[in-house]
């Protein structure tokens, strides 16, 4: 159902009289809602021309006629002639077709709401008195801000089919969760949470939301993956909205694919909300650009389980940046394999523990001494290991100063 007016205009004919900026702005919403839009006007805005090039709208380059409204489900009168708009609204009235008169909302049979979407919920604000677009947009924006911040309870009240939402919560800082991820938490009846990620946000969910902690650590896996899958499916089949709150991104070494497969196999509706992966965000916030221009143009992301494989060693030797997740315990083996394969012993290495949190710590060294330094300083997971020239201390400022601007793109 369209978010515009509570009407389902998908696949239905909408006629827009007028081809200027007002028409172009409103056509975007009709196109987004899947309407079949025909614009009738002698002069056409460039934005509408682009829509037509992509096949989103049909353009009729002449003045609007009464017959243009035949077979229409909805009409927008948005010419720059107030009298003509009133005439179009009259033609729509004769055909019992809903119409917005952009010149004078009181003369049409519909008004456009100021809209915003928030997961399964769309809100629309209308003026019931004299039209005041600035006022209704202001009210909409204030409501939308509260919804997107998770400050309003968005749980379903009417029983229905359960579902699972896999939410990547980012590397840890709660400010790095996506807007959709934050909305999903406000919709949750059950939250199945990891140990890592933006778990601080759990203090914001209502007390009657069930929170199931299935978090793992390198030496302790209290809930095996098949049991996690079963919890998701069981709660969803009971009609609950289940948010699986995962650290980083669900599909970047997060076993999200296995959880989606379990839901699909059980006939449970599942949505995936991508997250900010720690593999890129943690180095970035620690001042390490993993593909700094002029320093490294390729990137390999791997785990400690595979960090000593030939691909990782070859990437290090070729000057690529190698980012290793879950690699603290395997660090000596990774280093030894790289050195044995002929990688440069002086290759810079940085280890970022507890990235994006108040406990963040960066430990630096080179390939030949990083294992010793990590042992002496007591490096512990969770940590991201970055191997490559981009991990050179102070490199960011010096690289920016020394690298000329490229020509063109």
Q: What is the Cα–Cα distance from 403 to 317, expressed in whole angstroms? A: 23
To the nearest 5 percent, what fractions of the chain are helix, strand and coil? 35, 20, 45
| 284 close to 309: Cβ distance less than 8 angstroms | no
pTM of the model: 0.73
Q: Look up residue 220 and give its DSSP letter.
A: B
Question: For the segment 336-351, what is each residue's pLDDT rounded down to a tens digit?
Answer: 988 988 889 999 999 9
The helix/strand/coil state of 355 is coil
> What pLDDT tens digit does each residue of the chain (409 aa) get?
454 567 888 999 999 999 998 888 888 888 888 899 999 999 998 888 888 888 888 999 999 999 999 999 999 999 999 999 999 999 999 999 999 998 877 788 888 788 788 877 888 888 777 777 788 888 888 888 888 888 888 888 888 899 999 999 999 899 999 999 999 999 999 999 988 888 888 888 889 999 999 876 665 667 899 999 999 999 999 999 999 999 999 999 989 999 999 999 999 999 999 999 999 999 999 999 999 888 888 999 999 876 567 888 888 888 889 999 999 999 999 999 889 888 899 999 999 999 998 889 999 999 999 999 999 999 999 999 999 999 998 876 565 455 555 555 5
Give pLDDT, residue 4. Answer: 55
List, as one string, the DSSP characters of 322-351: EEEES-TTTHHHHHHHHHHTT--TT-EEEE
Question: Any idea which residue has 């927008």 for tokens?
Answer: 76
Give pLDDT, residue 75. Answer: 95
Give pLDDT, residue 33. Answer: 84
The vertex-175 CA angle with 284 and 270, nearest 5°, equals 100
Catalogue the active-site residues: 194, 216
Q: What is the Cα–Cα distance from 145 to 34, expressed in whole angstroms? A: 26
Q: How far is CA 273 from CA 76, 123, 167, 246, 341, in A?
A: 35, 21, 5, 10, 39
CA-based end-to-end distance of the chain: 41
* Dihedral over Cα of 63, 69, 72, 75: its sign: positive
| 40 close to 62: Cβ distance less than 8 angstroms | yes
* Backbone angles phi and psi of 214, in degrees to 5: -120, 25
CB crowding 290-328: b at 16 or more within 10 Å, else e: bebeebbeebbbbbbebbbeeebbebbeeebbbbbbbbb
| 295 close to 395: Cβ distance less than 8 angstroms | yes
* HSE (side-chain half, CA atoms, 13 Å) at 119: 27
Give pLDDT, residue 3. Answer: 47
Give pLDDT, residue 103. Answer: 84
CB crowding 114-151: b at 16 or more within 10 Å, else e: bbbebbeeebbbeeeeeeeeeebeebbeeebeebbebe
Give pLDDT, residue 220. Answer: 60
HEC secondary structure over 114-131: EEEEECCEEEEECCCCCC
The helix/strand/coil state of 366 is strand
């Amino acid at each position: 159902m369209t978010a515009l007016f509570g009407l389902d205009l998908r696949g239905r004919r909408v006629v827009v009289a007028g081809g200027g900026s007002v028409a172009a702005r409103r056509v975007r919403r009709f196109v987004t809602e899947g309407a079949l839009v025909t614009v009738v006007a002698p002069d056409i805005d460039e934005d509408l021309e682009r829509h037509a090039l992509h096949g989103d709208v049909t353009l009729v380059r002449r003045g609007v006629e009464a017959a243009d409204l035949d077979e229409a489900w909805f009409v927008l009168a948005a010419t720059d002639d107030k009298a003509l708009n009133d005439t179009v609204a009259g033609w729509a009235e004769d055909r019992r077709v809903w119409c917005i008169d952009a010149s004078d909302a009181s003369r049409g049979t519909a008004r456009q709401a100021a809209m915003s979407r928030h997961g399964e919920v769309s809100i629309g604000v209308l003026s019931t008195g004299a039209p005041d677009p600035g006022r209704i947009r202001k009210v909409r924006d204030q409501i939308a801000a509260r919804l997107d911040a998770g400050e309003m309870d968005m749980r379903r009240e009417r029983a229905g089919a359960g579902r699972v939402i896999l939410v990547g919560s980012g590397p840890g800082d709660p400010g790095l969760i996506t807007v959709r991820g934050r909305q999903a938490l406000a919709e949750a009846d059950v939250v199945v949470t990891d140990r890592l990620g933006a778990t601080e946000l759990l203090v914001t969910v209502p007390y009657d939301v069930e929170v199931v902690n299935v978090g793992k650590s390198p030496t302790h896996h209290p809930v095996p993956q098949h049991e996690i899958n079963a919890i998701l499916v069981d709660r969803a089949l009971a009609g609950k909205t289940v948010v699986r709150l995962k650290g980083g991104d669900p599909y970047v070494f997060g076993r999200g694919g296995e959880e989606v497969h379990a839901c699909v196999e059980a006939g449970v509706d599942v949505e995936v909300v991508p997250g900010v992966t720690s593999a890129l965000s943690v180095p970035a916030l620690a001042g390490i650009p993993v593909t700094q221009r002029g320093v490294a143009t390729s990137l390999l992301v791997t785990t400690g389980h595979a960090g000593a494989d030939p691909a990782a060693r070859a990437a290090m030797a070729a000057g690529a940046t190698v980012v290793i997740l879950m690699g603290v315990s395997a660090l000596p083996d990774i280093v030894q394999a790289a050195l044995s394969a002929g990688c440069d012993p002086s290759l810079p290495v940085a280890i970022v523990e507890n990235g994006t949190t108040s406990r963040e710590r960066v430990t630096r060294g080179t390939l030949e001494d990083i294992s010793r330094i990590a042992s002496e300083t007591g490096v512990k997971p969770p940590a991201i290991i970055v191997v490559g020239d981009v991990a050179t201390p102070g490199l960011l400022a010096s690289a920016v100063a020394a690298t000329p601007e490229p020509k063109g793109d």
